[in-house]
Structures are given as structure tokens and as C-alpha cells.
Chain A
């Protein structure tokens, strides 16, 4: 099929679990996801939903033990990452797929200058050494808005926003096909966040890199991504293009998310609709749909068995027996919002 050439990343039925003292943590369950070349996907969910685990699985960075990929294939350019040799995996990481982590202070080596850190990357993957490597490093720094005079500075001499730019420069140094950004702006101030997001968007478009952006912030996704996937309890619950999700969310959890977050546009004096209860215990996921204990629309069948992802409209997938329609209203707003345990 010709569309195969456009699919850069194809995750099929991925399941990841961690064997810990308190039980088996089912971090990711039967995940199916696709990312097209040159596009960006927002990966949204709360803590423990399985987003970072998925990202680490793509890069084969899950620590085994206690982690374990129990099923699935991760096809990158048609090749299953799980079947690669160690050497091929090392080549993949940083070369074809780069990752940007949340905390720029801990993801940079404090005893190497920023220039050296970029040079290290290019020498490992592109085999550039010496002067050629330095030129590339300066070029990358300029690309992210850092003056060449600062190339020989150390990470601690930069502010948080600048450090994150350095991280982006390192990530782009080898012209990867895919960038995985794990909450890249969460640790930054909002004005700096705006700068960095602007930069990421610009670079993604100019370098035509695909991006998997992991975040809990629906605002950031709306501004930077083409499509969005919502994770809950290790499951993918909704996946669609940006426009569809933000105008007609179909999964109750998505609706709940939109209602739980205050925005600058919500009417003053309105009450935040609360999703009652807590996220599920990953060592003891509920039978049936993982969201059913907290879902105001749940019926008996939801507690019995999960639905599985269904394509409701072209490109819009939902894992729900009773996906929302414009007539469903908003059960979250009608519930009493005080949390009683």
C-alpha cells in the first residue's frame, strides 16, 4: 500500500509491564498507534498513564528487569525495533530517533561544554570529527537561537529555557526522523515556554521531522500538533486529528479532562467539573474499561469488558461502548463537584 511509505512509526499491540515488589505494574496495554512522516502527534495523559513508558519502549530504553515488553511490534520505517541488534539500536537512538526530556538540568552533562555535547552526538552518529563537528555544533546552536560565543559555556551557566534549547540542538544535531519530546516545557516559565514551543514548531516544519510530543497540557497540543492520542490507565482511549478532538471529543475521559482544567476563557465564577475518584492502580486494573469506575456514563457492560478501539469517523478512533455525541451533554458538569471519598 502506498500509504505505508508515509507511516514512520507504527506501534502494534504494544504491552509493557514492570515486575515490582508490590505486584505487576501494567504500564501499557495493547497500544496501537501510528505516526506519519513529517507530522506531530500529541500524546496526552496524566501521570502513570503510560506515555513515558511508551516513549522509552520505542527507543528500547526500558530497563529489563524489572520492565518487560510482553507483546507487540514497534515498526520504525517498517523495521521492528525489538528485533534490532544492540549496535543497530544504538545507531537508532540519537541518530534516527532523538529524545528530549523534561528536566534540562539533569539531561545535560554538567562537566561538558554545550559545544562538546553536540560534537559528541555528531561524531557518534554522523562520523564528523574535529573542525567539521565543531562547525555543525555552532550551526545547531545558531538554529536554536544561541549565539556562537556561548558555545564553550557549561550547562549551569545557562537559564532553564536556554538549557532546553541546548537539549533541542543536541536532539536535532543528527537530523533525526523522529523526535520524542517528553514534557519539554513543563519545567519552564510560561513566557519561556512560549519561546521554546515556537522554536520547536518552527524547526519541526523546516527540518520536516516527525514529533511525538508527550504532555498533560491540552493547550500545548492544540498549538503544536496535528493529531492527538489520549492515554488513560495504560490504554489508548481516543485518537484523532486536532480539530475533531477539540470540537467533538468522543471519549468521556477526554470530556472530563477538558472540563477539569481552568482556562483563560472559561466563564468567571463557574465551577470546575471534577472527575471523581483517582486514576486506577496499575497493579490492579479494573475489569472491563479502565475508566469505567469513574465514568458518569458507564453502564453494566462497561464494567464487564473493554470495547477496543473503533474508528467512528475517518481518522477518529475511540475505545468506548458509548462514545459521546453532541446530544450526550456533559455529565461532569451535572455531578456534585465536591470530592467525597
Chain B
């Protein structure tokens, strides 16, 4: 058994919209090693949330395969699908809308247990709920509280407890701290880190916030308009980003310190529409280094250095030169 828990191969997800075909996820291939965190970074519309949902099975893929422990999870049905659900769970972004406002904290956390028939008695259920609340740092007096009475941080902890209820191996975290205040964000990030250390979860951490992704991930993949444009391990990506988009992204992050101002790369124009995308590199239109080939051929994701993948014609050529 390879030590990749998840192997995504040529995954595609298209949506039919009135103006054409929306390429939300376009031929993405990624591996997520067991026990590690893959950070998935990109701006709105790049397809990262869609990718997360397709992996979990909330959306049907339009093509490709997702191997979970060696089996293609996209082909699961009925019983296998329920089984899969116990291994792969998701934590959502918005602590306001991801919890049923009519259910109390204990009801919310017991839902996955009840639906999947985990506990055999009321007492067992209550015990398990108490255990989970403890695990995520929710005081037991909150058992009968309702979401609207609690702050964002506590609500997100409920979401995390709920995801952990089935004791999964793999958790997709879709912008789990983006809606939280900075101090609460720190608390929740520490919680996620602790849980991973204690329980050995594998995380797919989706976020648009580069600093947060850098803090939590072992490896990072950058997405732009449905494609992965760069992937490397954490320190490499942030120290020496190769793809122009990654460089622009990193340069755009405001720095909380005074000193000599860095030269900022300001991208021109807006992100093009993912509906009926043009041929060639999606980033070519905004890239200050684009060449003719970039406008006609989509660059493949190639390994330019060990463990460092980039989808860029110029860099591919450079790699070929060095080979």
C-alpha cells in the first residue's frame, strides 16, 4: 500500500450554466500522503472548494478518479458509500450557515452518530457527544445551547466535533477559519494542529489565506481557474515560488511590519470567467512573461525539481534544458 491516502487522477467537474460549460475543476491530479496536510490555495472561482466537495462525494465528478486507500471512491455505491463516509468528512467555512439553527449543540454532534447507527443506546450517545465536546474544547454546559447563542469560534468547534464524530481518516477543511476573528482563528488552528498530532488525521486544508495555509500545511498546491499551477512542499513554495501566479499571489499579501517596502507585483485586470475557457494557459492573459505558446497550449504539470511541480511553458523549457 502506497503511503498516499488519496490519489486524485485527472479529476474534472463541469457545470452546465446558461452561458455554456463552467470548468470548475479541469484535469486536476494530486496526491495526499497519509497523516499529512495538503494546503490548497487560490482565489475565488479557482475551484478549490468544488474540488474538496467532489472528493468527499457531495458533488458528482464529471470525469477522473479519486483513489482512497487504493480504491476509486467515485465508483462507490450504497453500502460502500456509507462506509466511505465514515472515513472522509468535511468541515465547512461558515459557522453561521453550516449548523442547523433548530438543533442544540448535542443534537448537532449526535446527528452523524444517529444517522450512521453508531451508538446502541442513549447513554452511549450522550457519552460519545460529551467526549467529542471535550476533544474540541467545548464546555459541557453548552450541550443544550443553540448556535445563535454562541460565537463563531464555538460554532466552528461544533462543526469540527461533528466531523470527528465518525472518527474519519481524512478531513476536508474548507476555509475553516476564514470567517473567524483573528484571535479565535488562532485558537481553532491550534486545535486542528493538536488533533492531527493526537489522532493522525490527514487534512486537505482549503483556504485563500496564504499565511494560514503556510502555517498548517506540509505541502501546498496553488490553483488558478480550475487548474493546479504549482505544487511543492511548504518551505519550497513560499521561499522560491516558480509559477508567475504564485509569485504574484505571494507578493500581494500585505506585510504587518514597517521597513523597506518590497516591490509588489500588481496583476492587471480581473480573473477571466471559468465558463468556456480559452485554449492555452488560463493565466496567460494576465501573465507578464507569457509567450506565444502559452496562448495556444495548456501547460502540463511537470516536476521541475524533486517534489516541485509547475504548470508553465517557460519553466518546462528551462527544466528540459537542465535535464
Contact = CB atoms under 8 A, between A and B. Distances in A.
A189 B214 contact: no
Contacts of A261: 182, 185-186, 211, 256
A83 B271 CA distance: 47
Nearest to B184: A278
B252 A190 contact: yes
A46 B139 CA distance: 23
A262 B137 contact: no
B210 interface: yes
A274 interface: yes
B256 A218 contact: yes
B182 A257 contact: yes
Contact of A247 (B185, B189, B258): B258
A246 B181 CA distance: 20
A264 B214 contact: yes
Interface in A310-341: 337-341
A243 B258 contact: yes
A195 B266 contact: yes
Interface stretch (A25-33, A65-73, A119-127, A265-273): A265-273
B190 A339 contact: yes
B211 A262 contact: yes
A219 B185 contact: no
Contacts of B189: 262, 272
A243 to B, nearest CB: 5
Nearest to A197: B254
A195 B267 contact: yes
Interface string A171-200: 000000000000000000111111101100
B191 interface: yes
Given A190-B249, A257-B182, A260-B183, A268 B234 contact: yes
Contact of B256 (A189, A222, A337): A222
Nearest to A223: B254
Nearest to A266: B215
B256 A260 contact: no
B255 A222 contact: yes
A38 interface: no
A337 B252 contact: no
A190 B210 contact: yes
Given A191-B267, A278-B151, A338-B190, A268 B183 contact: no
Contacts of B181: 46-47, 216, 279
B11 interface: no
Contacts, number: 131
Interface string A206-240: 00000000001111111100000000000000000
A337 B153 contact: no
A159 B270 contact: yes
B183 A264 contact: no
Contacts of B184: 278
Interface string B249-270: 1111111111001001011001
B191 A216 contact: no
A114 interface: no
Contacts of A337: 190
Given A47-B181, A268-B214, A341-B139, A222 B270 contact: no
A264 B250 contact: yes
A106 to B, nearest CB: 17
Interface string A244-287: 00110000000011101111111010011111001100000000
A227 to B, nearest CB: 12
A167 to B, nearest CB: 16
Interface in B194-237: 194, 208-212, 214-215, 234-235
A320 B217 CA distance: 37
Interface in A53-112: none
A106 B250 CA distance: 29
Contacts of B251: 194
Contact of A264 (B151, B186, B190, B211): B211
Contact of B208 (A189, A256, A258): A189
Contact of B254 (A159, A192, A219, A278): A219
B186 A260 contact: yes
A219 B44 CA distance: 21
Contacts of B256: 217-219, 221-222, 246, 258, 261, 263
B125 interface: no
A222 B257 contact: yes
Interface string B113-140: 0000000000000000000000001110
Contacts of B137: 338-341
Contacts of B153: 278
Contacts of A198: 264, 266
Given A189-B43, A338-B191, A223 B255 contact: yes
Q: Which 9 A-B pairs have the closest CB atoms?
A: A219-B254, A189-B43, A194-B252, A262-B215, A218-B256, A260-B186, A46-B181, A219-B256, A339-B187
7 contacts: A194-B254, A194-B264, A195-B266, A195-B267, A222-B255, A262-B211, A274-B183
Given A47-B181, A194-B264, A274-B186, 9 more contacts: A161-B270, A193-B252, A219-B256, A220-B254, A223-B261, A246-B257, A263-B211, A264-B211, A272-B190
